[in-house]
Amino acid sequence: MSTETDSKSDVARLLTQYQRALYVYIYACVRNATDADDIFQEVSIAVVESFSQLDSEDGFFPWAREIAYRRVLAHHRTSNREKPVNPQVITALAEAVERVENQQSLSTRRDKLMECLERLPSLSRELIARCYNNSGESVGVVAEQIGQKVTSVYARVHRIRAILRDCIAQRLQEESGE
């Protein structure tokens, strides 16, 4: 196998391994799924294009995260709707995502959350679906549609999220105990 081919499979494997952590970091910084999608695409391209510059595989995630960090800052600079952001916040989140990923892969957490979602009662699933779909409906609109107060809907969603977090924690604990 040629060196070039090795390089291809390396970047494939590493990007697969860390794609969720990269995306989550970007999403935490911009708090908008569309913007996060766009930035993530740009970061993926940049990673593939400049992979040859990486000295060691061990440094892949910090290196890719640094690319993401720069793209996020650039996004905040060019986005009209964003207020000036403190780069220290973006740095703090970058360090946090690395610690979190080292402790427990975010891909694993995703899998557990997916399992937990399937166990939710149908009405809870429905509420989550309404609040997280792409239609842009505000919680106020959802509340109106289901005939409840906005505060009540917020409280219900908050409870469901808490239940899901507990479920994830339990499943991760079970897995580590096996």
Partner 1 sequence: MKDWDDDRLLQAYLDRTLSPGETFQLEQRFCQEPELAERMILFASDDAVLSEWVAHQEQDLGELLSQDESPSTIQENAPDFGLRRRLIVPAFLSGCGLLLAMGLFYIVPQFQTPVLEAVVFSSGERVQNHIKQTLAEGSAELHFPTGARVLISAPAAYEVTGNNSIHLQQGKFIANVPSTGIGFQVDTPHGRVIDLGTLFSVQTADAEDTRVQVYRGKVIASVVDDDGIVKTSRQVDENKSAKIDYQKNEIAETPDSHEVSARYGIKGYSSSVIFQEEMPDALATGKYQVFEHDDLAFVFPERSHVVLPQNLNVLVSPTRDEQRSGKSFHYPVSLPAQTKVDCFRVYYDPAIKQGTFIPVRGEIEFERPILGVILEIKKLNQTDSFFHPLYEKHPDRSIVHQGTEVDRGKIDPKARYDEVTISDDRKKLSFVLLSGERFVDEFRVIVQSSENPAKQ
- CA atoms in the 13 A half-sphere facing the CB of 31: 7
Tell me how far CA of residue 84 lies from CA of 71, 79, 100, 130, in angstroms.
Answer: 15, 10, 26, 32
Map residues 133-162 to x or -, x wherever contact with partner 1 holds by CB under 8 A: xxxx-------xxxx----------x--xx
- Of 6, 48, 151, 175, the residue at the interface with partner 1 (CB under 8 A) is 48
- Of 73, 128, 163, 172, the residue at the interface with partner 1 (CB under 8 A) is 128
Query: Using CA atoms, how far apart are residues 57 and 60, in angstroms rounded to an integer?
Result: 5
Q: Which of residues 6-35 bind partner 1 (CB under 8 A)?
A: 8, 11-12, 15-16, 19-20, 23-25, 27-28, 31, 33-34
* Phi, then psi, of 52 in degrees rounded to 5: -65, -20
> Three-class SS of residue 149?
coil
* Gap between the terminal Cα atoms of the chain: 38
Q: Which residues bind partner 1 (CB under 8 A)?
A: 4-5, 8, 11-12, 15-16, 19-20, 23-25, 27-28, 31, 33-34, 36-38, 40-41, 44-45, 47-49, 51, 83, 86, 88-89, 91-93, 95-97, 99-100, 106, 109-110, 113-114, 117, 122-123, 125-126, 128-130, 132-136, 144-147, 158, 161-162, 164-165, 168
